[in-house]
Amino acid sequence: MKRRLVLAALAAATAAHAGRPCDDKPPTPRQVEQGLALAEATARELDASGAQVAVLARAGQDLSKYGLQWSHLGFVYKDAAAGAWRVMHKLNDCGSDHAGLYRQGLGEFFLDRPYRYDAAYVVLKPELQQALLPVLADNARVARFHERRYSMVAYAFGTTYQQSNQWVLETLAGAAAPGIASRRAAQDWLRSQGYQPTDLHLSALTRLGGRLTRANIAFDDHPSARRFSDHIDTVTVDSMFAWLPRAQLSEPPQRVPQP
């Protein structure tokens, strides 16, 4: 499946997944049908909302054992010149320890063989949309808060690694508070605005297994006291969807009706 890489790290489009190893297995006709139907339903909802920029989530993995509905999100914005919606998001490169930024159409976004063909979005406040729109269309500006080193469970207030949802959150902070010039400053602002990451309870055995078998999982950036008591604080879609309306930065989350 073709993807447009925003950062000029690769000369050609590559396959990448948010926290999943790559494989060459093509989607089935039924999966293509479901993905495109969800893309069409999402486009209709976004058009009806009157928004230019929103945050869009998908259920790529089953995270129900952690009490989470959604696994991955990105910015979705209206490309006025093309008359189409584009998704800007961060993807882990084939289960490796690094990631890149990608710009996709809605169809590509939902053709990644998700666990569940389901989507939700939040429409951002108008002033935040206006601040983000030129950023999302500019390859250099959109990478301002991007960190290539990746961990699926990166510490929410650390800068050693960065996971996909964390990039969205920090980029959003940079647009909401234009004086922010670094990831650390973005995280300080998020703390001041009451953002609370998800507390994942992961045992030492689970952490060890993940670290030894997956290049895209690391725990060494988490505070020792929290980590050794089995608490892993990371950015999730669910935590962002809870915080954005509370911080008066968006409307309440909306689920895309099943196509």
Residue 177 φ/ψ, nearest 5 degrees: -130, 90
Q: Provide mean pLDDT across the span 14-40.
A: 74
The Cα–Cα gap between 145 and 88 comes to: 13
The Cα–Cα gap between 168 and 236 comes to: 10
Q: Is 50 exceeded by the pLDDT of residue 2?
A: no
Instruction: Report the share of the chain in percent with pLDDT over 90.
Output: 72
pLDDT of residue 12: 28
pLDDT of residue 24: 63
Indicate the SS3 state at residue 246.
helix
pLDDT of residue 23: 62
pLDDT in tens, 47-97: 999 999 999 999 999 999 889 999 999 999 999 889 999 999 999 988 889
DSSP 8-class letter at 65: G
| CA dist list (Å): 8 to 21, 98, 102, 133, 139 | 22, 14, 11, 21, 9
Hey, where are the domains in the chain?
Answer: 4-255
